[in-house]
Amino acid sequence: MVTIKDVAAHAGVAFKTVSRVINNDPTVKPKNREKVLKAIEELGYRPNRAAQMTRRKKSGVVGFIADELLRVPYTFDLIKGAQDLAWKHNKELMVLNVNVDKYSVEGAVNHLFEHRAEGIIYAAMYHREVQLPSHFSEVPTVLANCYDSDGHYPSIVPDEQEAARQITASMLSKGYNRIAFLNLNENIIAARLRKKGAEQAFADAKQSPDNLIIESVIINDEDGEHSVTRNRAAELINSFKPDAILCGQDPIAVEVYFVVQALGLQVGKDIGIGSFDDWDIIPSLVQPGLTTMALPHYEMGQWAFNYLLEERTDKAKETAQFTLVSRQSF
Amino acid sequence: MVTIKDVAAHAGVAFKTVSRVINNDPTVKPKNREKVLKAIEELGYRPNRAAQMTRRKKSGVVGFIADELLRVPYTFDLIKGAQDLAWKHNKELMVLNVNVDKYSVEGAVNHLFEHRAEGIIYAAMYHREVQLPSHFSEVPTVLANCYDSDGHYPSIVPDEQEAARQITASMLSKGYNRIAFLNLNENIIAARLRKKGAEQAFADAKQSPDNLIIESVIINDEDGEHSVTRNRAAELINSFKPDAILCGQDPIAVEVYFVVQALGLQVGKDIGIGSFDDWDIIPSLVQPGLTTMALPHYEMGQWAFNYLLEERTDKAKETAQFTLVSRQSF
DNA sequence: TTATAAAAAGACAACGTTGTTTATTTGAGC
DNA sequence: GCTCAAATAAACAACGTTGTCTTTTTATAA
């Protein structure tokens, strides 16, 4: 590989001058700068990052630990949010996936330490509480889509309650006023907060809480669980007779579509459907398109990176807002 | 940060001895090794990768350029396949997303060169021909899920033809013998190959080609296009009267589900449906579950990494096999 | 015990860059 | 043309490692 000295020899200057040119030091005469740039061009020289890092004692590396317990593809946006900023600021985002069976968090942190990461973003694949090993305290760390109970680390999570309030309010404003909420399981924080949000919307609109029924639904990829959700949804429609159904996540909504269709009802006409996530292409795939609250993954990724970039030290507890993506399901 | 010399001082040995311990050099007496390990433990020392790289003149970095023209989430498996192996071999997989509007391939390659990447995996998000800038020739490069017309680079792509043959044959073997194939647009290589595969299956089974109709479908996220697909599917069912429909990708299949249901038919009973991709959770979300040919993304990612790891130099043109994921749709 | 070889540990240079100090060149003012 | 300061360039050390060579220690055989 061609080094800074090769360039210097080729340009007929001291190698330090080449270094100056690379680093935009203004104390290089235009004539020399030109010579150097020409030599760089001709030799195809590229500075060696590893050498720069050792000498500068700065790595420019930011770690991103993706706690991939769930295979939720759209969370990729979390990474993208951070990565776009990293690229922009000429930093390296070192992404490490950890999961229970394969790579431990310890291993990932160790790896990042060896690379002298200047900060770590720890991101969970769904909004939840996490418990981090103590080594994290050695380097600035920020949590995305999760939080720690001690409040020891800054964090950003989706504003679940406000999202639920907003979509419920939107339903109410469109005249739907008897709503069944097929919520996520309440051991998930999002479910508890969304419940509050929905109730708040009803209270704000001075609607009777009797017209809101909230149930937890079991989520699982196994086929058995699907039919449970479906049966429960069908029962609920027949007994409670809602004019709209709010679903805890888009996949639940898809199931409800099938149930509604099987009952001979038309989504968006006979019954409204709303949801949370904006999960990949799913909402635009069903007919009619599913109105859903989009998770602010990209924004959370950006916020987290920015927090580190700005070398903040406060213990921020930030929330990020969902976006209502309106289609035709209500 | 604690360095190798700090450890040496703490352990009372020469710093070279510490280096030996780190690198598992057997010529260190057990007693000294123990002292050093203890010191490492006590000081929390971790070798500085950047320094190792400069001295060793090896980066251990493999670049992964993800040509993300399409937002297809399940292609993440391509990265995972490579990353799992990278981790296992203690290499760094540097993933860079490039796309038309933001980051150029040139920029990504430059970045990788600065990191002295020892190899590059160039992965496309859908099976297609690519044209790479010439700098790639400077470092071992392998293509995943794409190929170059010159055959200059080794590559691995999904075996589209065999996949189509296989799923069609599977349908035929189950008694479906009048099949409508809602294929992808034929300007996509996959569509052309799959057409051949389906025809081959018919020929192999000595079925009349008249019982196979193949049509290209326009794929687009905009809502207008959806209805086009749907209308065409409905027409086809009414006119051609197939007993099974093969779809070019899972999202098309979902649309067909809705059409079939609207026509009062039952998927898996009155009409079979098969598809390609195994796109995230979609196939298990629809009812009944969608039988589909899973793309071998993970395997392609692994193969590509392995090719570089083994320092192969042949111009391999490999294909990877899809996997038939059987559910209840046919 | 001594000679000798093998094993282990140490000393020192090197990797490709940047920080710091020192030397040289340039240009302004007389 | 000369002086002197400012601008520019060069020299050299340093970053934290590993490679190579040299020295010291240990073990073995006579």
B95 contacts in chain A (CB < 8 Å): 95
Distances, alpha carbon A210 to alpha carbons A168, A195, A214, A217, A233, in Å: 15, 14, 10, 20, 18
Displacement of CA B294 from its chain's centroid (Å): 11
CA gap B41, B33 in Å, rounded:
12
Strand partners, A119: A62
- Residue A166 and residue A268 share a domain: yes
- Give a yes or no: residue B125 inside a domain: yes
- Give a yes or no: residue B314 inside a domain: yes
- Residue B72 and residue B109 share a domain: yes
Q: Do A281 and B251 make contact, defined as CB atoms within 8 angstroms?
A: yes
Q: Report the 10 Å Cβ neighbour count for A196.
A: 14
Closest CA to B321 of B169, B126, B166, B128: B166
Of A49, A59, A282, Cβ closest to residue B114: A49
A261 contacts in chain B (CB < 8 Å): 258, 261
What is the spatial distance, in angstroms and rounded to an integer, between the CA atom of A90 and the C1' atom of D9? Answer: 29
- Residue A69 and residue A43 share a domain: no
Structure tokens at B53: 């790289």
- Give a yes or no: residue A74 inside a domain: yes
- Give a yes or no: residue A211 inside a domain: yes
Provide the number of structural domains found in chain A: 3
Structure tokens at A55: 């000498």
- Residue B226 and residue B198 share a domain: yes
- Residue A166 and residue A103 share a domain: no
A226 contacts in chain B (CB < 8 Å): 284-285, 287
β-pairing verdict for A272-277 and A244-247: parallel
What is the spatial distance, in angstroms and rounded to an integer, between the CA atom of B45 and the C1' atom of C25? Answer: 47
Q: pLDDT tens digits, residue range B12-40? A: 999 999 999 999 999 999 999 999 999 99
* Range 236-265 of B in CB contact (< 8 A) with A: 251, 254-255, 258, 261
Structure tokens at A24: 């935009």
- Residue B274 and residue B230 share a domain: yes
Of B47, B54, B285, Cβ closest to residue A50: B54
Interchain contact A284–B (C-beta under 8 A): yes
* Range 21-50 of A in CB contact (< 8 A) with B: 44, 46-50
Which residues lie closer than 8 Å to A288 by C-beta, 6 or more apart?
A267, A268, A327, A328, A329
- Residue A168 and residue A102 share a domain: no
Closest CA to B131 of B97, B111, B106, B163: B106
A46 contacts in chain B (CB < 8 Å): 110, 113-114
Q: For residue B72, what pLDDT is reported?
A: 74
* Range 173-202 of B in CB contact (< 8 A) with A: none
- Chain A residues 10 to 29 whose Cβ lies within 7 Å of strand D are 13-14, 16-17, 20, 26-29
Question: Which residues form the domain of A307?
Answer: 61-158+297-321
Confidence of residue A32 (pLDDT cuts 50, 70, 90): very high
Q: Do A284 and B226 make contact, defined as CB atoms within 8 angstroms?
A: yes
What is the spatial distance, in angstroms and rounded to an integer, between the CA atom of B20 and the C1' atom of D24? Answer: 18
Confidence of residue B70 (pLDDT cuts 50, 70, 90): low
Q: pLDDT tens digits, residue range A277-318? A: 998 889 988 989 999 999 999 999 999 999 999 999 999 999
Nucleotide closest in space to A23 (CA vs C1'): C18
- Give a yes or no: residue A313 inside a domain: yes
Interchain contact B113–A (C-beta under 8 A): yes
Nucleotide closest in space to A3 (CA vs C1'): C16
Q: What is the DSSP letter of A254?
A: H
CA gap A312, B277 in Å, rounded:
44
Q: Do B251 and A110 make contact, defined as CB atoms within 8 angstroms?
A: no
A112 contacts in chain B (CB < 8 Å): none
Find the residue in B nearest to A107 (Cα): B87
State which amino acid sits at residue A324: L
Displacement of CA B156 from its chain's centroid (Å): 10
How far does B214 lie from chain A, in Å, by closest CA?
22
- Give a yes or no: residue B77 inside a domain: yes
Q: What is the mean pLDDT of chain A?
A: 93
Best of A226, A281, A290, A328 to substitute, by most chain B Cβ atoms within 10 angstroms, is: A281
Q: For residue A224, what pLDDT is reported?
A: 54
Find the residue in B nearest to A135 (Cα): B44
How far does B203 lie from chain A, in Å, by closest CA?
34
Coil, strand or helix at B274: strand
- Residue B128 and residue B43 share a domain: no
- Give a yes or no: residue A82 inside a domain: yes
Interchain contact A314–B (C-beta under 8 A): no
Exposed/middle/buried for B319, CB within 10 Å: 0-12, 13-18, 19+?
middle
Nucleotide closest in space to A29 (CA vs C1'): D8
Interchain contact A285–B (C-beta under 8 A): yes
* Cβ of A100 less than 7 A from strand C: no
Distances, alpha carbon B277 to alpha carbons A42, B75, B198, B264, B323, in Å: 46, 10, 16, 27, 9
Q: For residue A139, what pLDDT is reported?
A: 95
Q: For residue B22, what pLDDT is reported?
A: 96
Q: pLDDT tens digits, residue range B128-163? A: 999 998 888 899 999 999 999 898 999 999 999 999
Q: Do A285 and B110 make contact, defined as CB atoms within 8 angstroms?
A: no
B195 has a pLDDT exceeding 60 = yes
- Give a yes or no: residue B281 inside a domain: yes
How far does B286 lie from chain A, in Å, by closest CA?
7
Across residues A259-281, what is the average pLDDT? 93
- Residue B88 and residue B16 share a domain: no
- Residue A255 and residue A227 share a domain: yes
What is the spatial distance, in angstroms and rounded to an integer, between the CA atom of A56 and the C1' atom of D25? Answer: 40
Closest CA to A295 of A280, A306, A316: A280
Interchain contact A90–B (C-beta under 8 A): no
Confidence of residue A223 (pLDDT cuts 50, 70, 90): low
- Residue B139 and residue B36 share a domain: no
CA gap B142, B136 in Å, rounded:
10
Confidence of residue B287 (pLDDT cuts 50, 70, 90): confident
Strand arrangement of the beta sheet that strand B61-67 belongs to: B92-98, B61-67, B119-129, B141-147, B155-158, B317-320
B222 has a pLDDT exceeding 60 = no
- Residue B261 and residue B273 share a domain: yes
Interchain contact A206–B (C-beta under 8 A): no
CA gap B218, A84 in Å, rounded:
31
Q: pLDDT tens digits, residue range A113-171? A: 999 999 999 999 899 999 998 889 899 999 999 999 898 999 999 999 999 999 999 99
CATH number of the domain to which B43 belongs: 1.10.260.40
A257 has a pLDDT exceeding 80 = yes
Q: What is the pTM of this model?
A: 0.93
A73 contacts in chain B (CB < 8 Å): 73-74, 76, 280
Best of B62, B95, B221, B285 to substitute, by most chain A Cβ atoms within 10 angstroms, is: B285
Q: pLDDT tens digits, residue range B292-327? A: 999 999 999 999 999 999 999 999 999 999 999 999
Q: Give the residue nearest to nucleotide C6 (CA to C1').
A: B27
Across residues B259-276, what is the average pLDDT? 94
CATH number of the domain to which A253 belongs: 3.40.50.2300
Q: Give the residue nearest to nucleotide C15 (CA to C1').
A: B55
Q: Do A51 and B54 make contact, defined as CB atoms within 8 angstroms?
A: yes
